[in-house]
A and B are shown apart, each in its own frame.
Chain A
């Protein structure tokens, strides 16, 4: 089905609903008797709770109840957990402090939930929350990882002495040290990866409904993975057994990772619904989103990259400190370890790599996966280091990369990953050509004549998507398997429903998944419906993150389609008295090859459901399910080039061009892929130039809790993008696809910083490269505004 099948630029089916305001989000859900919650939150970064007086609040108009952490604990509701076990290099397990859904004796960051007020209206709940009197004994707070590890730093959790959660390593330290000792040149650099707030357009929300007649809970929530939410809430938080808990994630307006995790609010609203006997809805406002949505990044690293006399990398040593905030969020431990250090080989053949990672508690919002999750940190570190090395060695950045590219596959890196396919040279050449790299000196001269400083920079990224082979991640400490499930139901009249464990919150699954079905069965995408986001409808699933829905989610659909096809062919062969092997599927029909005999899908489907005339022994119906567990990660890679002009008078950077050459393997829908790249680039450019969560180091107050102070990229901060795709199909999955959701955010920050540092001739610059920082650097005072 060329028009709508794989590879077609089909406009998104879901856009009409979204663009006309008809999406149905959690906050749109209204159920009889529903009441509203407001959370009392800590105004302090670190304090002991000495008393909570709710009497005045309970007497306020409309208030149904005010509940606190002691009551929650008394009812046996469990603590939040981190689902990935990491062991320190001394063999000891990570030191996880207790994260109570409502704080009981200590609050550890500004925004930590202390009590919930349930009232007739949201405004009444908020009014009453202001009347809850919490007595605090303030404790000293610490917000940066370096300070938290320092002598005499405030102790945040008793379980983690010195605030150190784990001290982990990967790779061969001795071999790496030996390489550095024997090197012709060693490039040393310190890398800061700035803390970001995810800012999905839809703030988090949840609606907890307890049905006393059935002793059953329903949780509407803004989740990227409703089944994981149910699993975790049942298994660890004792909210309800799985068969008594339905989780629904309806339309969700963006996640970027921040909606993977189970947050206190979901658990507390479910519990509060049972406690109060009314359905309880909570919707975050934007300030609460800044205060409580898991942040991303926040790494400080020291890097040594060793070269031989021919400019070949012979060793890479990395020492990273990652700030995990006040509590360990669901996948927080995996991000700075297996999603980060395993990518430190980049696109390069590096014989020896060693990375040491320490993770640290601070009095800040918990940090977890955010678009890219570990891979942007690895890419930024490597590509800034490569650029620095090229400058020190006096060779062109492209040549240094070309010298070190991995060129034969499969390639086993020294840090676990086994790259299956790639052609890094192809993307590099395509990007350099699209950017007219060779014409840059002339363009720079033109800028100079206008008093501007022009620079160009590249970044060659690789990432690991298609998360992930279950057995492999299990052996590395994951608490779950990362397969995906699908069910394909051909209805009696030939329309099709696909139930998927993936969850769409901006990715366009309703379109791309339908395109796959259209391609395979030859039906129009209008007759295919994608069902997701409801644990009562969909069998089981692991959700959407890590660019996994194509490579893993669609592969499960392929497996289910294989089974449907096989059965349909059997039925068609039986009905047309042909041999099964002669049946082909074309244009919505099952045909006997080489004859004019054919049956449309609906007749085959109808025959399956009437069961009047099926092959002997065949079960009625045409519905098949499948689970797909990937055999490896997938490895999208590419080359990004940024060209910028800096105004030396103000320090302001203008992006003149941005070129992205990506190898995502086969592409289902180029339009959607381009949209994903554009969005990722916007976030990467945001990180490089604009965004940073800042804290007051003395008080632990967040300084960037609104768009007045947190600089979100706007359309006019972004240039038009020049995109191209190279294709080495992924050998590991049936569709040959790799994933495209995160690449833009992963590859772009180093390209920009390499370009800006090239423009100003100063290499020491941290993200975000604000006008203030760039101007200050030009004044000779290299400022470290970042996470120090």
Chain B
């Protein structure tokens, strides 16, 4: 790791100011991605602005079916929230599948969503739940937020403060873990709202997390595993690497979609 200066912010405003005034500044939340990257010398921010001590970024609120998760809320809190589980158990289950207990107690939803790793779990939930990404300056719809692999609509120094969504009628998440990293080799999040169905796939897309309109239509017509069993995605739009060919990923999208519906 290269030398870096650490700043502890106590409010969103202070953090954004620090971040804007420092060259090569970076927010650090759980550090589970950023610190590892710095240790490998693949990232070298000269200034780190720590978000974990900002009270307003933490915690989960559930009012009726309106859910708000603060950006600095660790995965373990999401996995363990009884209030959240009562309205949307799928996102709790998803959080409980991320990494290991150490990672879940450090890593945060804001960091995961901002990072937009193509194999991360949360982006599929955010997209399928039609969530709103709230930042220090605006609100961004999930459909507009995820731009590509490790790319989001966030501007320079823009900070995610919370993720907000309406709990769906039903939702489910199924993940096929990479045998090495345990990130998603393919993960599918399905959500059923009165207004329709949304299906989002992570781990597989050549361009990051994506929706599958054919599955959404099929599930809107009939919410059952069999509805998606016959829908195939084009391997041409999927990643291919030593862990999984695009054909294998296309198969996993179908199988995980089925299992996500089963789990809902």
Contact = CB atoms under 8 A, between A and B. Distances in A.
Interface of A: 123, 126-127, 287, 649-652, 689-690, 694, 703-704, 707-712, 770-772, 775-776, 779, 785
Interface in B207-264: 242-245, 247-248, 251-252, 255
Interface stretch (B55-63, B138-146, B175-183): B175-183
Nearest to B243: A772
Contacts of B245: 772, 776
Interface of B: 1-3, 40-41, 176, 179-181, 183, 242-245, 247-248, 251-252, 255
B252 A709 contact: no
B252 A650 contact: yes
B242 A776 contact: no
B179 A709 contact: no
Nearest to B258: A649
Contacts of B183: 708
A683 to B, nearest CB: 16
Given A123-B3, A651-B248, A712-B180, 4 more contacts: A650-B252, A703-B242, A704-B180, A772-B244
B179 A770 contact: yes
Contacts of A689: 179
Which 4 residue pairs spanning A and B have beta carbons closest together? A711-B180, A711-B179, A708-B181, A649-B255
A775 B179 contact: no
Contacts of B244: 772
A708 B180 contact: yes
A708 B244 CA distance: 14
Contacts of B242: 694, 703, 709, 785
Contacts of B243: 709, 770, 772
Contact of B181 (A649, A694, A709, A776): A709
B255 A650 contact: yes
Q: Counting chain A CB atoms within 10 Å of each CB, which of B2, B181, B242, B251 scores highest?
A: B242
Q: Which of B1, B3, B255 has the most A CB atoms < 10 Å from its CB?
A: B255
Contacts of A649: 251, 255
A710 B248 contact: no
Contacts of A772: 243-245, 248
Contact of B251 (A694, A704, A712, A775): A775
19 contacts: A123-B1, A123-B3, A126-B41, A287-B40, A650-B176, A650-B252, A650-B255, A689-B179, A703-B242, A709-B180, A709-B242, A711-B180, A770-B243, A771-B176, A771-B179, A772-B244, A772-B248, A779-B247, A785-B242
A582 to B, nearest CB: 63
B85 to A, nearest CB: 23
A707 B252 contact: no
Nearest to A713: B179
B132 to A, nearest CB: 31
A788 B23 CA distance: 48
Contacts of A652: 176
A406 B176 CA distance: 46
Contacts of A126: 41
B180 A707 contact: yes
A603 to B, nearest CB: 55
A779 B235 CA distance: 15
Contact of B179 (A123, A690, A694): A690
A119 to B, nearest CB: 14
Contacts of A704: 180
Nearest to B244: A772
B218 to A, nearest CB: 18
Contacts of A775: 248, 251
Nearest to B181: A708
Given A287-B40, A776-B248, A710 B255 contact: no
A340 to B, nearest CB: 28
A718 B183 CA distance: 19
A695 B85 CA distance: 44
Nearest to B248: A772
Contacts of B252: 650
Nearest to B229: A649
Contacts of B255: 649-650
Nearest to A694: B242
A651 B251 CA distance: 11
Nearest to A127: B2
Identify which of B183, B243, B247, B248 gathers the most chain A CB atoms within 10 Å of its CB. Answer: B248
A707 B181 contact: yes
A201 to B, nearest CB: 16
Contacts of B40: 287
Most chain-B Cβ atoms within 10 A of its Cβ — which of A709, A712, A772, A776?
A772
Nearest to B119: A708
Contacts of B1: 123
A39 to B, nearest CB: 15
A123 B244 CA distance: 37
Contacts of A703: 242
Contacts of A708: 180-181, 183
Contacts of A127: 2
Contacts of A710: 180
A704 B178 CA distance: 13
A126 B244 CA distance: 35
Nearest to A696: B242
Nearest to B183: A708
A127 B2 CA distance: 8
A781 to B, nearest CB: 9
A127 B244 CA distance: 36
A707 B183 CA distance: 11
Nearest to A770: B179
A652 B174 CA distance: 15
Contacts of A123: 1, 3
A123 B247 CA distance: 44
A456 B21 CA distance: 64
A616 B219 CA distance: 99
A84 B251 CA distance: 50
A775 B41 CA distance: 37
A123 B2 CA distance: 8
Nearest to A651: B248
Contacts of A779: 247
Nearest to A773: B248
B262 to A, nearest CB: 12
A712 B1 CA distance: 25
Contacts of B251: 649-650, 775
A303 to B, nearest CB: 27
Contacts of A651: 248
A772 B247 CA distance: 10
Contacts of A771: 176, 179
A132 to B, nearest CB: 15
B87 to A, nearest CB: 29
B3 to A, nearest CB: 8
A29 to B, nearest CB: 23
A97 to B, nearest CB: 30
A770 B178 CA distance: 10
Contacts of A287: 40
A704 B180 CA distance: 10
B115 to A, nearest CB: 14
Contacts of A785: 242
A771 B256 CA distance: 14
Nearest to A717: B179
A554 to B, nearest CB: 39
A786 B225 CA distance: 35
B201 to A, nearest CB: 15
B254 to A, nearest CB: 9
Nearest to A710: B180
A779 B247 CA distance: 11
A779 B250 CA distance: 13
A186 B48 CA distance: 67
A785 B181 CA distance: 19
A377 to B, nearest CB: 23
Nearest to A126: B41
A651 B248 CA distance: 10
A770 B247 CA distance: 15
A649 B186 CA distance: 13
A61 B179 CA distance: 42
